[in-house]
A and B are shown apart, each in its own frame.
Chain A
Amino acid sequence: MKPAKFEYHAPKTLDEAVNLLGRYGEDARILAGGQSLVPLLNFRIFQPQALISINHCAELAYLRVEPDGLVCGALTRQAEAEQSADVQDTCPLLSAALPWIGGVSNRNRGTVCGSLAHADPLAELTAVAMALDARFSIVGTKGRRQASAAEFFLGDLTTCIEPGEMLEAVHFPRSGKNASAAFVEVGNRWHGFAVVGVGAHVECDDVGVFQTVRLSAIGVGSTPVRLTESEKILQGTRGETQALQEACNVAAVDLDPPGGFHADSAYKSGVLGTLVERALNETQALRLQKEAR
């Protein structure tokens, strides 16, 4: 269908955008890349009274390396982050996940923050944010506030962003040296939406002992899920076979993934452990590659 009518605003500054948000409250939507939002407008599932396009807010277009991490402003395009050496260095899991999102023509326009704010339970970046304990900077008429990943993702397409607020930036903690990361997915087609996806981020010491292990999954809940039990098992090991197997076996315990015609719950639980193994194997291979150089 053709989308319903809306009032269109193209603020030039963040302040303007926030004022507009304040004015419209829940009757407005932020338009950035539009890759998630506009299909819903074309289906007329959403019919906001106003669209506030932040595509002309230059001050939101930044991708910055800071001492404690990487900050993506609201207008950081996914393609930009994908091609950035800074992102590869400071946040390899983000680099690993980005190529899985749609196609180049989606990532050219789609934004990192936009995908997170939309909170589709199958969005790869939500798993990245969850795994790395990303910090969300939310701004509204009442000022700024921060939210942790756990606080941010509330459910299917639902975040803690209130009417009148928008996601201004997301902060990914800087990963340590000797960090490697991988993202793996399975779906019902060789490329397309994930049925289940796993992001793995591993930091080792100089002798290969896992100091930091972060694992999270999409597709096994209405929000991304941190696989904390698996992380605990791997912590302090070198990722040997037995530890790895144990970590994979417990991954799906206590999970009750939503089932549907794309895949049933048993499949998702069944495949999760294998994806954890594949992701960790990939991080291992990357680590060896780096060491070889």
Chain B
Amino acid sequence: MTTHQSNDFVGQRFPRREDQYLLRGEGLYLDDLAEPHNTLHLAFVLSPHAHARILSIDVSEALEVPGVVAVLTGEDFVSLIKPIRPNIEMPTYLYTDRLALALDVVRFVGEQVAVVLAESKYAAHDAIELVQVEYELMPAVVSLEQAISEGSPVVHEHVAGNIAFRGEFASDDFATKHAAGKYRLRERFRHGRVSGSAMEPRGCMAVPIRGEEITFYTSTQIPHIVRTEIAKHVIGCSESALRVVVPEVGGGFGVKAQLYTEELISVALCLKYRRPIKWVQDRREDLLTNTHARDHIYEMEATFDERGVLTSLELELYTNIGAYSSSPFGGTIETTGGARQIVGPYKLPNYAYRCYAVTTNTCASGVYRGVAQPACFMAMEGIMDRIARQLNIDPLEVRLRNIVLPGDMPWVNVLGVRYDTGSYQKCLELARERSGYEDFRRRFPGSRLKDGKYHGIGIGNMVELTGTGAPGWRVRGLQAVSGIDGATIRVEPTGKVSVFVSQANAGQGHFTTFAQIAADHIGVRPEAVTVYEGDTASTPFGTGTFASRSAITGGGAVIQAAEKVSNKIRRLAAHELQVEPNDIVLQDGRARVASDPSRFVDFEKLCLLAYSLGKGALPPTEVYGLEATEYYDPPVVTVANAVHIIEVAIDAIDGRVAIENYYVVHDCGKVINPMIVDGQIHGGIAQGVGEVLMEEIVYDEHGQLINASLLDYLLPTALDVPDLSTLTIDHVETPSIDSLGGFKGVGEGGIIGSVAALTSAIYDALEGIGANVNSVPLRPSHIASLIRAARQSAPDPEATRAKQELTAAH
């Protein structure tokens, strides 16, 4: 029961309190933290080979560099750090243990083989060049296609055929139902590999405090998971003597929601040398070693009826997980994600998948914004577009015929996942009306070529599974990801409110949004609330900030704790004012008698009682203190939805894609701060544009990462995103019935819709000339070659269409 019904603050466009110090340049990111005077700096020697045996390491020359204190190798760490084995319990999952520092074998270019400790970072970099490592090259396997082919080299001896995990599912009587499908199409979708590339590279600093106590600063999204994993892996590290503090984080996007070897090594060396240990990577190391993402193959066969309604879908999914299963999510997260989330907002009655996590001699993959959803929705929306083309039905209409309708909600999909609430039909219809979609179809009834450009319009119709609680993680076998989050709320002696949340934001504005929620539920103004995150000494245990969960889980915990605290305030006030607690209303830091508003008592006065200050006495039924700690586990998941519709114009010669119009309608349930929601969508859109048009991590056939710099790994700039006049974002609010605040997540929706819609738009622009767009990224050269090939080979578009219907997977 909420005490403050009017929701004065949740739903408002509150400017952020974070801005004052960030704009002044006063935000302290990891590398900005004061370094204690005897700090040792780490630098790592990275393997230049994708797969090799380490024969010898000679550190003698490196030790001669002035300022170098030590150079350590894998052997030194055997007694310091246990092998990293993400705790994943799924049948068929094969563990691929990783040592903090490679010992006998390196398995990807960038794997760490030695570490230098020096008095300065410059000296450490001088030393790493002088470490002599002798390698014996082993055959390397780099691409997904190569890894699953007959006779491929294996990355780990015990992982036959490089299959570290296989999952499968088939709905009842699938084979029969699939065979009975009236119309059929097959397609193969390919999604390239990307790197999250936050603007701030990773770093950490371990500082001995006293005795065995260490404060460990790290640029992370998962402070509690990191703390527990460090305590489990670093020998001699006691969790209760380890405090993890998260400084300002310059972007996370999931890449910083991982446990990294450098973190374990820093704490281990801090214990060993009893000195502060600091490490900050550069951009090249970022691109080489921070977890990558995507790199999937979707082989799909869909059957549908004459109206374009899906009757069955069969998927074979391969994901490239790199050389090691990353921790804590492991190599299965994108594999199971892609296979299970692809169902999307569609009713799909019959579904079967086989999914494979494939190892290669490349950097480990992890979780990056969207986590498989951008890729699997690219594929599913691609299927929708192809159904439409085959039956000559409008693509948006096909989607409308397939979606879960309001009368069906809550919906349990073919995999047993419950969609609590949603606005799929409303959003699609709104999108059709407001995006200029029908106007486009009118403008381009036949040929798409106009003024030397191919015009297309694409649809990204998506749901996003947000706020995953414990049951959701267990289903995916992830034991180290607890799923709960906690909040402690305390009213301080002078009446101000402190909120401690088990989250760690990297720009999402939590210090503002959680203050809005707490203020609403306790009855103070947000200005009276201070939010703390990212400190395991003061914030309760929790899972962290990723997977579009903080509004739900953090918000839910804050609401629960606020309820407890405000109930106590009301009881204390009731005692003071001699009324019943349910006759008390809290607002602006005052407890007022609802039936006689002229009678009230300030929170500060009640604090005198709660903290035994001043003359009053606590009621005999109460205990001291005015705080509560609550944990919240959202039930499984709550499902957000959105539709992105993008109009593009593609130059017929140079293949460049211009975004002419960009429309989004987004439903993330109850909105806490619309300004922040829009900001998340903007950011996701930009990353989606990058993912489809320009971002790709490229390994050569020897496993060398050839574009490990921002000169060659291209991030979108201000000129690549839709401009103000062409971008429209509408909002629908369908509150969640499963989350406490009615909130749904929004962190990832922007990129999921964007990738699907942009790919769909390019497909739409070019399918009329017989070009089949089924992979990303789509650089201008690739698009130009599709156009060239289509123009050369198919003078008769009708013949092309017929050929495509019979074509099997590419």
Do the two chains touch directly in the complex (Cβ atoms below 8 Å apart)? yes
Instruction: For A268, give the chain B residue with the smallest CB separation.
Output: B781
Q: Binary interface profile of A, 127-161, with partner B (CB < 8 Å = 1, else 0)?
A: 00000000000000000000000000000000000
Distance, CA A118 to CA B390, complexed state (A): 54
Q: Which of B125, B694, B719, B785 is close to A188, meaning CB atoms less than 8 Å apart? A: B694
B interface list, Cβ under 8 A from A: 121-122, 125-126, 129, 282, 284, 653-656, 693-694, 696, 698, 706-707, 709, 711-712, 714, 716-717, 719-720, 779-781, 784-785, 788
Q: Binary interface profile of A, 236-279, with partner B (CB < 8 Å = 1, else 0)?
A: 00000000000000000000000001111011001100110000
Instruction: For A1, give the chain B residue with the smallest CB separation.
Output: B125
Instruction: For A191, give the chain B residue with the smallest CB separation.
Output: B719
Q: Which of A2, A262, A264, A275 is close to B121, meaning CB atoms less than 8 Å apart? A: A2
Query: CB distance A267 to B785 under 8 Å?
Result: yes
Instruction: For A190, give the chain B residue with the smallest CB separation.
Output: B719
Q: A193-B711, A274-B654 are in contact. List 19 more A-B contacts (CB 8 A).
A: A2-B122, A4-B126, A39-B711, A44-B125, A189-B694, A190-B656, A190-B717, A190-B720, A192-B714, A192-B717, A261-B707, A263-B780, A264-B781, A264-B785, A266-B785, A270-B784, A270-B788, A271-B653, A271-B784
Distance, CA A267 to CA B711, complexed state (A): 20
Query: CB distance A262 to B785 under 8 Å?
Result: no
Q: Which of A263, A264, A270 is close to B653, meaning CB atoms less than 8 Å apart? A: A270
Name the residue among A1, A42, A44 with the largest chain B CB count within 10 angstroms.
Answer: A1
Instruction: For B712, give the chain A residue with the smallest CB separation.
Output: A262
Q: Which of chain A's residues have a CB closer than 8 A to the CB of B720?
A: 189-190
A interface list, Cβ under 8 A from B: 1-2, 4-5, 39, 42-44, 186, 188-193, 195, 261-264, 266-267, 270-271, 274-275
Query: CB distance A267 to B780 under 8 Å?
Result: yes
Q: Which of chain A's residues have a CB closer than 8 A to the CB of B121?
A: 2
Instruction: For A43, give the chain B residue with the smallest CB separation.
Output: B284
Q: Which of chain A's residues have a CB closer than 8 A to the CB of B709?
A: 43
Name the residue among A39, A188, A266 with the largest chain B CB count within 10 angstroms.
Answer: A188
Query: CB distance A262 to B779 under 8 Å?
Result: yes
Q: Which of chain A's residues have a CB closer than 8 A to the CB of B707?
A: 261
Distance, CA A4 to CA B707, complexed state (A): 22
Q: Which of A4, A39, A188, A263 is close to B714, meaning CB atoms less than 8 Å apart? A: A188
- Which 6 pairs across A and B sit closest by C-beta, in order of nearness? A267-B781, A190-B719, A263-B781, A274-B653, A2-B122, A2-B125
Name the residue among A44, A267, A270, A275 with the largest chain B CB count within 10 angstroms.
Answer: A267
11 pairs of residues in contact across A and B, judged by CB atoms under 8 Å:
A39-B711, A188-B693, A188-B694, A189-B694, A189-B716, A190-B719, A190-B720, A195-B780, A262-B712, A270-B653, A274-B654
Query: CB distance B129 to A44 under 8 Å?
Result: yes
Instruction: For B721, give the chain A residue with the smallest CB separation.
Output: A190
Distance, CA A5 to CA B284, complexed state (A): 20
The dominant DSSP class at the B interface is loop
Q: A190-B720, A271-B654 are in contact. Are A1 and B282 (CB under 8 A)?
A: yes
Distance, CA A42 to CA B720, complexed state (A): 28
Query: CB distance A186 to B780 under 8 Å?
Result: yes
Distance, CA A270 to CA B284, complexed state (A): 33
Distance, CA A186 to CA B714, complexed state (A): 14
Q: Which of chain B's residues have a CB closer than 8 A to the CB of A274?
A: 653-654
Q: Which of B129, B696, B717 is close to A261, meaning CB atoms less than 8 Å apart? A: B696
Q: Which of chain A's residues have a CB closer than 8 A to the CB of B129?
A: 4, 44
A260 to chain B, nearest CB (A): 9
A183 to chain B, nearest CB (A): 15
Query: CB distance B781 to A195 under 8 Å?
Result: yes
Distance, CA A173 to CA B549, complexed state (A): 64
Q: Which of chain B's residues have a CB closer than 8 A to the CB of A189?
A: 693-694, 714, 716-717, 719-720
Q: Which of chain A's residues have a CB closer than 8 A to the CB of B712?
A: 262
Query: CB distance B653 to A5 under 8 Å?
Result: no
Distance, CA A261 to CA B709, complexed state (A): 14
Instruction: For B779, give the chain A residue with the smallest CB separation.
Output: A188
Q: Which of chain A's residues have a CB closer than 8 A to the CB of B706?
A: 261
Distance, CA A77 to CA B125, complexed state (A): 32
Instruction: For B657, give the chain A residue with the smallest CB separation.
Output: A190
A110 to chain B, nearest CB (A): 15
Instruction: For A44, give the chain B residue with the smallest CB separation.
Output: B129
Distance, CA A263 to CA B783, complexed state (A): 11
B708 to chain A, nearest CB (A): 10
Q: Which of chain B's residues have a CB closer than 8 A to the CB of A261?
A: 696, 698, 706-707
Q: Which of chain A's residues have a CB closer than 8 A to the CB of B653?
A: 270-271, 274
A248 to chain B, nearest CB (A): 10
Q: Which of chain A's residues have a CB closer than 8 A to the CB of B698?
A: 261
Query: CB distance B126 to A5 under 8 Å?
Result: yes
Q: Which of chain B's residues have a CB closer than 8 A to the CB of A188?
A: 693-694, 714, 779-781
Distance, CA A275 to CA B707, complexed state (A): 27
Q: Which of B284, B654, B716, B719 is close to A186, meaning CB atoms less than 8 Å apart? A: B654
Q: Which of chain A's residues have a CB closer than 8 A to the CB of B781?
A: 188, 195, 262-264, 267
Distance, CA A2 to CA B67, complexed state (A): 15
Distance, CA A270 to CA B785, complexed state (A): 9
Distance, CA A1 to CA B126, complexed state (A): 9
Q: Which of chain A's residues have a CB closer than 8 A to the CB of B655?
A: 267
Distance, CA A42 to CA B693, complexed state (A): 29
A48 to chain B, nearest CB (A): 15
Query: CB distance A267 to B122 under 8 Å?
Result: no
A21 to chain B, nearest CB (A): 26
Instruction: For A42, give the chain B residue with the smallest CB separation.
Output: B282
Distance, CA A266 to CA B654, complexed state (A): 12
Query: CB distance A186 to B656 under 8 Å?
Result: yes
B657 to chain A, nearest CB (A): 10
Q: Which of chain A's residues have a CB closer than 8 A to the CB of B716?
A: 189
